[in-house]
Copies of this chain bind each other. A is one copy, B any other.
Amino acid sequence: MKYTPASTVEMLSDAHVAVVGLGLMGGSLAGALRGHCRAVTGIDHRPETIETAQQMGLVDYGTTNLADGVAEADIVVLATPVRVILQQLTMIGPLVPPGCLVMDLGSTKAEVTAAMGRLPAHVQPLGGHPMCGKEISGIETADPALYQGCTFILSPLRHTSEEALALGKALVMTVGASPLVLQPARQDFLAATLSHLPYLLACALVATADTLTSPDPAAWKIVAGGFRDTSRVAGSDVTMMMDILLTNRKAVLKALSVYQGHLQELFHLVESGDEEKMQAALRRIRCIRREMFP
């Protein structure tokens, strides 16, 4: 059988989806799916979060009980921090019906897909990483439009069925994103440089401003758009980022050390005052940036 867009959208519209963890990512996904599938159940350990999700119209049903919430699900999406996902994957197998698609939204995929590989055979596993997100968090920040236009990485396992992958892709396209199938190691390597490294740079920039300029009250009056944008992701949720860094440590440290090398080169260029070399290096970097974001 071939899974066409039409047949998988039909599969999705019949599906009961359970979203575990109603923060920015889970709440936004639930809201984007609601109305496009049979029912959306939101699961969170805090009753007030479920209440807010219901008031915001993001879910059809809500529960604090994981077993109850996933018992009749055709698709379960784990939208918690990566190390919570790893814990939930150890217990969710016996709780879901046969054939259930279990996905996640974690930023690192090697450890998550390894844990998915230990799920019982009646479960269809599919790693996921949507390349969107913000430096804000919590159900209050959820926005069904969050996934519009973003790339959504999918990492199927060797035994993930063609049907399950097609259903995952239909879910991704339904929330407005574009699926991109990548192997976990390749995704983790790319995400280390393109997503996890910027977080550490932003953190070090904020720490530097705190050391050097915070003592001067004028600093807060003159801080402008360049600093604001460059430091933005330093406001990201710490639990989420800790889990990402600790489950992608090797690739993150590699990216960070390459970065330190490039920064040291820039230090020497500015120190030397060699205008020709400096201009060549900065022009080359500007061209690369413009190619990235035309």
A residues contacting B by CB (< 8 A) are 131-134, 150-151, 153, 178, 180, 182, 186-187, 189-191, 193-195, 197-214, 216, 218-236, 238, 241-242, 245-246, 249, 252-260, 262-267, 270-271, 273, 275, 278-279, 281-283, 285-286, 288-290, 292-293
Known contacts A186-B216, A212-B193, A273-B249; is-contact A230 B228 (Cβ 8 Å): no
* B151/A238 in contact, CB under 8 A: no
Closest residue of B by beta carbon distance from A238 = B282
Q: How far is the CB of A105 from chain B (nearest CB, A)?
A: 13
* A220/B275 in contact, CB under 8 A: no
Q: Which 10 A-B pairs have the closest CB atoms?
A: A198-B230, A131-B224, A207-B262, A204-B263, A204-B262, A208-B259, A229-B229, A234-B289, A226-B233, A235-B289
CA distance A168 to B205 in the complex (A): 33
Residues of B within 8 A of A285 (CB): 203, 206-207, 210, 234
CA distance A222 to B270 in the complex (A): 32
* A293/B132 in contact, CB under 8 A: no
* A286/B201 in contact, CB under 8 A: no
Residues of B within 8 A of A282 (CB): 203, 238, 241-242
CA distance A133 to B228 in the complex (A): 13
Q: How far is the CB of A270 from chain B (nearest CB, A)?
A: 5
CA distance A230 to B201 in the complex (A): 8
* A204/B266 in contact, CB under 8 A: yes
* B133/A224 in contact, CB under 8 A: yes
Q: How far is the CB of A197 from chain B (nearest CB, A)?
A: 7
* A205/B209 in contact, CB under 8 A: no
* B278/A206 in contact, CB under 8 A: no
Can you spell out 8 A-B residue pairs with CB atoms less than 8 angstroms apart?
A: A133-B224, A134-B225, A180-B218, A194-B213, A194-B227, A210-B285, A223-B292, A260-B264
Q: Which of B214, B270, B279 contacts A256 (CB 8 A)?
A: B270
* B249/A182 in contact, CB under 8 A: no
Q: Is the interface of A mostly helix, strand, loop or mixed?
A: helix
CA distance A209 to B196 in the complex (A): 12
* A246/B262 in contact, CB under 8 A: no
Known contacts A242-B275, A289-B231; is-contact A212 B270 (Cβ 8 Å): no
CA distance A286 to B292 in the complex (A): 28
* A202/B224 in contact, CB under 8 A: no
Residues of B within 8 A of A200 (CB): 263, 266, 270
CA distance A249 to B273 in the complex (A): 9
CA distance A286 to B233 in the complex (A): 9
* B132/A224 in contact, CB under 8 A: yes
* B255/A208 in contact, CB under 8 A: yes
CA distance A132 to B228 in the complex (A): 11
CA distance A293 to B136 in the complex (A): 12
CA distance A290 to B5 in the complex (A): 43
